[in-house]
Structure 1
Amino acid sequence: MLIYIYMSFLLSLVGMMVFALNRKHLLIMLLSLEFIVISLYMGILIYLSNLGYEFFFSMIFLSMSVCEGALGLSILVSMIRTHGNDYILSFSSLW
C-alpha cells in the first residue's frame, strides 16, 4: 500500500515539473493542472481507504476539480476566440 502513496506523490511532482517547465501554451498548463488534481485524488482515495473512512470527501474533491477544469476550458475557448491562439504571453493584452 505504501507504493501507491509514493506513486501518487511522484505523479504530483511530475505534474508540477511539467507545469513549471512548459509555460508556453495554456492548454499544456491546464492539462498538467488536471494531472496534478488526478494524482492528488488518487492519494486522497488511498489515504481514506487505509484509514477506513467514508469517501464523501473524495466525491466533493472530484466535483470541485471538474468545476475547475470546466472553468479553465471556458477561459481557453474564450481566449482562442478573441485572440486566435493560446499563448501565455498574450495574456498581457487581455487586461
Structure 2
Amino acid sequence: MFNYINLFLSMLMFMSGIVVYVLKRKHLLSTLLSLEFIVLSLFYLLFLMYMNYNYEYYFTMIFLVFSVCEGALGLSILVSMIRTHGNDYFQSFNVLEC
C-alpha cells in the first residue's frame, strides 16, 4: 500500500524547490541549489514508486549518476562565471562579452 504521507512530503519538497527556483533567481548558486533540491525530491518520489511496486532500484542509481553529472556541470559553470565576472549575479552577466 502506498504511503500517502511520503507522497505528500515528496510533492511538498518538489513544489518548494520550484518556488525557491522562481523567487531566488538573482544568484546562480541559489538556482543551482534549488535545482538539486528538485532532483532530490524527484529521486525520493522515484524511490517510493519503485519500493511500492517492488521493482529493482537499478534505475535510481542511473538517475543519481545523471544528477551528479548535472551538479558537477553547474558548479563548473559557476566557477567559470565567478572567475570571469567576479560574482554570480545574473544582472552583471552579459552574453555579448568575450
In which range does the TM-score fall when normalised by the shorter chain? over 0.9
2:50 to 37, 48, 51: 48
Confirm or deny that 1:73 pairs with 2:84.
no
Give the RMSD, CA atoms, in angstroms.
1.1
TM-score, reference length from structure 2 = 0.92
Amino acid at match of 2:77: I
- C-alpha deviations, 1:6-65, integer Å up to 9, x for none? 100110000000000011100000000000000100000001000000001111001000
Tell me which protein shows more helix as a share of its residues. 1
Question: Which of structure 1's runs of 4+ aligned residues deviate more than 4 A?
Answer: none
After TM superposition, give the deviation of residue 85 of structure 1 in Å: 0.4
Q: Which ranges of structure 1 fall in alignment gaps of 5 or more residues?
A: none
1:24 to 20, 26, 44: 26
**TM-aligned CA distance change 1:69 to 1:94, over 3 Å:** farther
Q: Which ranges of structure 2 fall in alignment gaps of 5 or more residues?
A: none
- Report the count of equivalent residues: 95
Worse-matched range after superposition: 40-49 or 85-94: 85-94
1:58 to 50, 56, 60: 60
Matched with 1:83 is: 85
